Every structure is written in structure tokens, then in C-alpha cells.
Amino acid sequence: MVEALIDGRASDCVPPDDRGLLYGDHQFETIAFVGGRAPLWELHMRRLARDCERLLIPPPDERVLAAECAMLAEGRSRCVVRISITRGSGGRAYEPPSRPVPRRILLRRPWPAALASARRDGIVLHSSPVRLAVGGPLAGIKHGNRLEQVLAAEHARRAGVDEAILFDIDGRLVEAIAGNLIVVVDGLAVTPARPGSGVAGVGLQALTERLGVILRETKLEAEDLGRAEAVMVINSVAGIRPAQRLDDRRLAIPGELRRWQRLWDELFECED
Amino acid sequence: MVEALIDGRASDCVPPDDRGLLYGDHQFETIAFVGGRAPLWELHMRRLARDCERLLIPPPDERVLAAECAMLAEGRSRCVVRISITRGSGGRAYEPPSRPVPRRILLRRPWPAALASARRDGIVLHSSPVRLAVGGPLAGIKHGNRLEQVLAAEHARRAGVDEAILFDIDGRLVEAIAGNLIVVVDGLAVTPARPGSGVAGVGLQALTERLGVILRETKLEAEDLGRAEAVMVINSVAGIRPAQRLDDRRLAIPGELRRWQRLWDELFECED
């Protein structure tokens, strides 16, 4: 049973001088497969190409990735494949080699547990004590430098909550640990504007571009969140999960969410 | 010839689910060994323990690290050993396991080439187009999220310079790609105050704490750098290298530098 492909070969062995390991020097995508198909494949591939370009990593051949993902997803009703494109080995310390040979690391993972109840009944959030750094060349990119998210997830685990709301150091609402946010304020569903940090999520993009849901990008702060009627977390694997609780406050689960979830399910399941 | 030790065993194989690879979820030290001895060992170990604590990674046993480094450095007049302490495998995506089992990855590297001439004649710097993000939980830590430095090093390579001066997004001078900065302004040697980003470097610490050089921490911006008489880069392996040129400007190599370099050499070589 192959669980990992490294440059196309079944392997459990990454060289210790891989730059992804040394410096987090890679881009990655975490892709949902249902019945061997990835409904959001094109959006993932578009982001992967764009982010590799921004990171100055030569992008991989999309057809090669598709064939390798198919090998990993074959025969499974649902699974997740993580693709990491590292800058490979070599170079002089931080300095990349002049002609980098990227390494493709593909990992199959099981479908997340308890997703149905999370989507139906909602998840418990807290406001993370971790504040995101602002600015720099990495904003918006799905890159391998994820220590802020790891620390926020560890704080959430210790607090016994499912997910966390992340603010940046200037007090602006940015995203969840593993997903973008939808916030209902004054009856209007909006998503935080993230100019200086956060990830441009494929799930959110699918919701607006593929499913036609209109979400204005708005600058949001703690005060806005304090009077929010509802909060939802969206990512490309888990879909849209409402928050049933944020810190000490119960939140509503809006009726509109159920319509979005139905659209999401149709996108994922009815095209088989 | 052993070049890598993973959890104490000669190996070229890191599991693809190591969190250091997935998320840059690790701390690291790059340690100079001269005649099998690491003159700055205690400073490296102090930072490693402090940074692991800040990253919520259980710190390794220092005696184990010392024994493993000795294996790698044995019989070499000079070499560099990189120690990475990753959070190991496991957990649920970003969320660490409740009882992480860290992985020790030690790599031996050759001594940097052309160091003597760089220290004598100076290196060529440019002001990097990469601006560092500000704030967040990682400031000061020697962690594995180094994409900003990788991008800055790639820009420096393309520009044909040896190193780069990094500013943050607020325009404050922070550090070099692989070292802290010493700047001589108005006849006074100072080092940039780095409250929101950068690394607390062991080389700089050795210079001030072990060699008694007094360097005031000062908030510096591009304007200060524009009237600097001299700029030096310091790290724990290369020691102190003066800049002979920064962008289009030639810089002086101060006489005081030669005294510091002698002190540094004594620390590294005369205790054998």
C-alpha cells in the first residue's frame, strides 16, 4: 500500500539535505479526492503554479502530478493527498542552487474524522493568543513556513477547542488556523481582507468563483468579531464548518450556510 | 564516512511525514567545530534550549548532542555541524501530537570556502528587495521557517553580491541574510535593535559577552545606513566580515575590526 511518492517513486525516505526540511523551502497543496477525483484540482494547480513563481521555484508538470495523485487516490472513496514541491537539495546554505531541481513529495492521508458532525453541529473556536506577523514576501502564499499555525494549533489543543481565530499583530482579523473565515456582521456575510498575511484559500475561492456566493472582503477587528452573529471556517477539504461557540459566546448557525453546504456537496459528489 | 546522524544513527533518510519537512516545525543551530571543539558550544546550547521552549518542542539532552557532534567532527581540522530539532512525526495536520517525540537531525558540512579573503578584504552587500515581516511569535528564534532568507539569498545570487542588508516592512534595519549587523555611524559601532524580527545571533552574543566588545542596540533606518562609515556582518561560523561595498558605495574597513578579528581567532584557535 503506497502512502508516499517521492519524485514518482514509492518511498519513505527524504534526504536530510532537502531544502524543504532545512528551511521550509517549499510550496504545498492539500487536495481532497472523492472517488478518485479532485473537484478543486484546477484551483489547486493554479495556486501551485502562481505560488511557485512567487517563491522562484520551478513549477512541476501538472500532468505528472495528476498521474501521481491518481496512483495514490486509486480505489479509495475519499482521501486527501498533500503535494509538496520543495526546492530540492543543494545550494550554499540559504542560497538556492543556480539551477534548482525541485523535489515532489506526495503523501496520502485519511479523510478527516468527524467531519459530518462538525459541518452539521458546528465547531468550537477560541481567539488565539498567537498573533500573526505582518507583511513580507510570503503573504497569501501556501508555503512551507507554518510555525505560526503549528503554535496556534498547539494552543488550541491545550485549550480543548477545535479551531482558532487568528489576528495579526496590528489587531486585524486574518483567518483560522486551517482555513479562511466567513463572518456575518449586521446581517451581511463578509470575509476578512488579508493584505499582509494569511493564505489565499482554495476553498474560499471555490465558494465565490465556482458556487457564486458573494462575500465582500472587509477589514475586520476584534470589535467586529464581538458583534458577529455567526462565524464559519472554510477550507478545500473540510468545506464550510460553522462555529457553535467562540470563546465564551454561543453563535448562531445561519440558514444560508445550509444552502452553501448543499452547493458544496453537489460540487464534490454529484459530478461523479 | 558518516555525514548525517538521525536520532543518533548514520542515515540518509528522513520520513516524509516529519513535521520539520511538512511545516518547518523545528529549531536549528549551525555550529563551527575547530579541531573537534566547538568554542561557542555553550551559547548554542543555551539558545537551543530557550528557542525549543518558546516553540513548545521538548528540548534534547545536551550530552547526547555533544556525543553525536563529536562523532561527526572527529578527525576534521574544521567543519560545521547543523543540528535540527524537529517536532518529529504525528499530530493532526498543524496540530502537534500531545506527546511529541522530537527528531534530531545532524548534518556535517564543509568549512565555508574563501572565508579568509572575505574577512581580510571584505564582502559585497546590497540592500535586499525582500522586506521582512514584522512581529508574531517567532521573532528572535532560530527556527526552521527561513523562506524570507532563502528569497533574499536568491535575489543576492542573481545580483552577484555576497550578502544582503535586510530591512523590515516598516523600514527598520534588521540583519543580514546569515548574520547580524554591526554599523559604524558617527564614529560609533552599533547593532540594529530587532524587536519584531530577526535572529538573536550567537556570533554577536559571543562578541559582546565573551569578547567584551560594547555595541549599543539602536533603531536604525535606511537614512542611518546611508551615512554609515562601515558595515560588518557577524555570525558564529564566519566570524566578522567587513563590507567593502554596499550598493553603489565603497565602505571603509575600520581598524577596530582587526582587533575584534584577532580576539575572535584567539577564541577559536588558541584554546586548542
What pLDDT was estimated at residue B186? Answer: 92
Residues A179-229 pLDDT 10s: 999 999 999 999 999 878 899 999 999 999 999 999 999 999 999 999 999
CA distances to A135, B210, B250, B258 from B241, rounded to whole Å, are 30, 18, 15, 10
Give the pLDDT confidence of A55-97 residue by residue, as tens digits: 999 999 999 999 999 999 999 999 999 999 999 999 999 999 9
Mutation target among B12, B21, B170 for the A interface, most CBs of A within 10 A: B21
Residues of chain A found within 8 Å of residue B21, distances taken between Cβ atoms = 14, 18, 20-21, 84, 86, 105, 144
The pLDDT score that the predictor gives to residue A269 is 81
Contact B80, B31 (CB under 8 A): yes
- Split at pLDDT 50, 70, 90, the class of A2 is low
Mean pLDDT of the A231-246 span: 98
pLDDT of residue B270: 55
CB nearest to A150's CB, from B25, B30, B153? B25
Which residues of chain B does A17 touch, with a Cβ-Cβ cutoff of 8 Å? Answer: 4, 107
Q: Find cell 545550494 and name the residue.
A: A91
Residues of A whose CB is below 8 A from B149: 23, 94
Interface test with chain A among B22, B142, B175, by most A beta carbons within 10 Å = B22
Chain A residues with beta carbon closer than 8 angstroms to that of B12: 13, 15-16
B169/A20 touch (CB, cutoff 8 Å), yes or no: no
Please tell me the distance in Å from B187's CA to the nearest CA on chain A.
Answer: 32
pLDDT of residue A272: 41
Q: Which of B21, B28, B56 sits opposite A14 (nearest CB)?
A: B21
Residue extents of the structural domains in chain A: 4-111, 116-269
Please tell me which residue, B155 or A268, carries the higher pLDDT value. B155
CA nearest to B181, candidates B197, B159, B195, B165? B165
Share of chain A above pLDDT 70, in %: 98
Grid-cell match 574563501, residue found = B114
Query: For position A270, what pLDDT does the model report?
Result: 55
- Residue B173's beta-bridge partner residues? B167
B27 touches A: beta carbon within 8 Å: no
Q: Convert the pLDDT of each residue in A122-146 to its tens digit.
A: 999 999 999 999 998 999 999 999 9
Q: Which residue of chain A is at minimal alpha-carbon distance from B6?
A: A16
Domain B4-111 in CATH 3.40.1180.10? The answer is no
pLDDT at position B271, please?
47
> Chain B window 75-114: which residues touch A at a Cβ cutoff of 8 Å?
82, 84, 86-87, 91, 93-96, 98, 105, 107
Please provide the DSSP assignment of chain A as one string. ---EEETTEE-S-B-TT-HHHHH--EEEEEEEEETTB-TTHHHHHHHHHHHHHHTTPPPPPHHHHHHHHHHHHTT-SEEEEEEEEE--S-SBTTBPPSS---EEEEEEEPPPTTHHHHHHH-EEEEEEEEEEPB-STTTB--BS--HHHHHHHHHHHHHT-SEEEEEETTSBEEEETTBEEEEEETTEEEEE--SSSSB--HHHHIIIIIS----EEE--BHHHHHT-SEEEEEETTTEEEEEEEETTEE----HHHHHHHHHHHHHHHTT-
Mean pLDDT estimate for chain A: 95
Tens of pLDDT along chain B (272 residues)? 569 999 999 999 999 999 999 999 999 999 999 999 999 999 999 999 999 999 999 999 999 999 999 999 999 999 999 999 999 999 999 999 999 999 999 999 999 989 999 999 999 999 999 999 999 899 999 999 999 999 999 999 999 999 999 999 999 999 999 999 999 999 999 999 987 889 999 999 999 999 999 999 999 999 999 999 999 999 999 999 999 999 999 999 999 999 999 999 999 985 44
Rounded CA-CA distance A243/B8 in Å is 45
State which fold the A116-269 domain adopts.
Answer: D-amino Acid Aminotransferase; Chain A, domain 2 (3.20.10)
A:B CB pairs within 8 Å: 206
